[in-house]
Structure 1
Amino acid sequence: MRASGYAGIVAAALAVLCGCTVQPPDGGDGRGHSPVRVELPRGTPGGRSAPDGTAPVPGPSAVETVPPHIVYTRGDTGTGVRELQARLRQVAWLYDGPTGTYDDLTAQAVAGFQGRRGLPRTGETDAVTWRRLVGMTHRPGKWELYLMGGQPAAAPDARCLTGRVLCISKSSRTLRWMIDGRTVSTMSVRFGTQYTPTREGVFHVYWKSRDHYSTLYHSPMPYAMFFSGGQAVHYSYDFAARGYAGGSHGCVNVRDEAAIADLFAQVRSGDKVVVSW
C-alpha cells in the first residue's frame, strides 16, 4: 500500500475516535464540487417559455427557494405591458387603457386578479400570474391593444400630400393634420358605428362651430369642423371617458381636448378632409 493511502486510513480512524467528521471544503460535496445554484431564465409573454416561479437549489444543505420571476412590474412600458392590460380587460379586472405603461391602476388590477385566485397579492406580474392570465384569455387583436388610441398613424393617403389636409385613417384610427405633405400633428380618433358609418372620400371643411350642440342627438360637439352633411371632426366627452367602447353617429371623434383646440385654431374653412380606410 502506498504511503499516501495509508495516511488517509489513519486520518479517518483518528477522526472517528475523536468523535469528529471530515467537512468538505467550501460547503462542497466532498468531491471538489461546490453547490449548484439554479438561475431562472427571464420569462417572457406571448407563448415563449417561462419558469413556474420556484426552483430548489440542490446540495447537501437545506433547500432554498428562488423567488418568483417577475415578468412585468410598476414603471415598465411597451407592447408587452399593453398585452397584459388588454388581457386584464378581458377578465374585467381593468377598465382603463391599454396604455402600454404599468401604472398604479394596472398594479391594482393585477393584485385583484391574484387575490381572487389564491396567489400572493403583490401587484407585480410574475410568471405564475402571467400563465394563469394567459390560460383564461385570448391573444388580443390590434383593436384590443389600442382601445384608448396610441397606435402609430398609417402612412398618409396619396391625396393628403398636397395642400392643407385633415388626413383621417380608419385602419389606424388616427388623424394627421398635414400641410404640403408635412405632418404637423397626429391624434387618435373614433368613427361611426356600422349603423351610422363615417363616410369615406375627399371633402372640405365647410363650417366651423366652436361650441356646437347637436339638436338631433342632444349632445355637445365642441370644436366641430363639418365636412360632409352633419358629419364633423369634433371633441367627444364620451370618447375621452370610454375610449373605443362606444362610437359616434358618423362624426370623427377626438378625445384629446387640448390637441383639437389647437387644431381648431389652425384649420380654415375650405381645407381638405380625406377619410380613407
Structure 2
Amino acid sequence: MAGRQGTGPTARVAVIGALLALAGLQVPRAAAAAAEPASACVAGTGPYQRELEHYLGRPVDGVQSTADCHAVRAFQRANGVPAAHGYPGLATYRTMLVVTARPDPNAAGDCPVREHRVTCVDMDRQLLWVQKGDSVVLPPVPIRTGRDSQETRPGWHEVYQRNKDHVSTLYGTPMPYAQFFDGGQALHGAPGSLYGGGGSAGCVNLTEPDAKRLWDLLAEGDAVYVWGTKPGTED
C-alpha cells in the first residue's frame, strides 16, 4: 500500500510554491521559508551575507547562522539558483537584484521613456529589460557587460545587425542570438555562467534562453540605451 501523501502546513506550502513556480512567479519569502525542509544546512558566511540577510528579513550581522542558511537556501530553490546550498554568493545576490527589480525596474528613471521600444542595459545592477512607454515588455534579466579595458560603451545605440547563429570572428566562440548595437558589441547568449570571468569583451551577455526571448522581441532599428558602471571596473 502506498504511503499517504503529507497534508500538513509544510506540505501545503510546498504545493503552493510549486504552483507559483509553474506560473513563473517568485515564491513569497514566508512561504519559501515554511517549505524549506529541515535537512542540514551548513554553508558558511558568504560575500553577500548582509545583503541577503537584509532582503530576507534576517538579523543583519554579516555572519551566517543555521537559520540564515535555511532562508538563503529557500530563496535559491524558489528562484532557480544553481547549487542551492544556502551560501550567499554572487549568483544568489544577482538573482536577488533581478527579483527586487521586477515590480519596477526603472523606478530610478535611469532609462529614458520613449513611445517606441527601448532595451535598457543597467551596468550598475547588471540587469537588462525592455520597455515601451511606461510598460515593461521584457522583465529584468541578469547580464554580464564588459570588463576593464573592454567596457560596454554607454549611451544611445540601435540594433543594426542580427545573426541567430553568429560565431565571433575575433575569439571563435559562439554568440547565439547576436544583435549588434555598436561597433561589434552585441546583445547575445553566452553558454555557461554569467557570474564568472570578470566580464565580457564588451558585449552584453545573457543566458541563452533570455537571449532567445530578446531575439524574438527585437528587430533591426530598435533602440538600446546603456548606462552605469559594471561593479569591479574603473569609472
Fold shared per TM-score above 0.5 = yes
Q: How far has the Cα of 1:259 moved from its partner? A: 2.8
Tell me: CA distance 1:83–1:263, structure 2 relative to 1, closer, same or farther (3 Å): farther
Aligned to 1:80: 56
Q: How far has the Cα of 1:169 moved from its partner? A: 0.9
- Name which one, 1 or 2, has greater alpha-carbon Rg: 1
Aligned to 1:180: 133
Which residue of 234, 244, 266 corresponds with 2:188?
234
Q: Is the 8 A contact 2:194 2:205 kept in 1?
A: no
Partners of 2:165 and 2:63 in 1: how far apart?
38
Aligned to 2:224: 273
1:195-274 to 2 correspondences below 5 Å: 195-238=149-192, 241-255=193-207, 257-274=208-225
Gaps of 5+ in 1: 1-71, 89-96, 111-139
Partners of 1:83 and 1:266 in 2: how far apart?
42
Q: CA RMSD in A?
A: 3.8
- Tell me the SS of whatever aligns to 1:226: strand
Does residue 164 of the first structure (1) align with residue 125 of the second (2)? Answer: no
Q: How far has the Cα of 1:162 moved from its partner? A: 2.9
Q: How far has the Cα of 1:222 moved from its partner? A: 0.6
Q: How far has the Cα of 1:262 moved from its partner? A: 2.3
1:50-129 to 2 correspondences below 5 Å: 75=36, 79-80=55-56, 100-101=75-76, 105-106=83-84
- Tell me the SS of whatever aligns to 1:172: coil
Q: How far has the Cα of 1:183 moved from its partner? A: 0.7
Partners of 1:102 and 1:220 in 2: how far apart?
30
Q: How far has the Cα of 1:185 moved from its partner? A: 1.0
Identity of aligned residues (%): 30
Q: Is the 8 A contact 2:111 2:225 kept in 1?
A: no
Q: How far has the Cα of 1:158 moved from its partner? A: 4.9
Partners of 2:156 and 2:73 in 1: how far apart?
32
Q: Is the 8 A contact 1:166 1:178 kept in 2?
A: yes
Partners of 1:164 and 1:105 in 2: how far apart?
35
Q: Give the length in aligned residue pairs.
A: 164
Q: Is the 8 A contact 2:152 2:185 kept in 1?
A: yes
Partners of 1:109 and 1:210 in 2: how far apart?
37
Q: How far has the Cα of 1:154 moved from its partner? A: 4.4
Q: How far has the Cα of 1:229 moved from its partner? A: 0.5
- Tell me the SS of whatever aligns to 1:237: coil
Gaps of 5+ in 2: 1-32, 38-51, 65-71, 229-235
- Tell me the SS of whatever aligns to 1:209: strand
State the AA in 2 paired with 1:209: N
Q: How far has the Cα of 1:87 moved from its partner? A: 7.4
Q: Deviations over 1:111-163 (max 9, x none)?
A: xxxxxxxxxxxxxxxxxxxxxxxxxxxxx89x675245635234343524331
Q: Greater relative contact order: 1 or 2 (C-alpha under 8 angstroms, separation 6 or more)?
A: 2
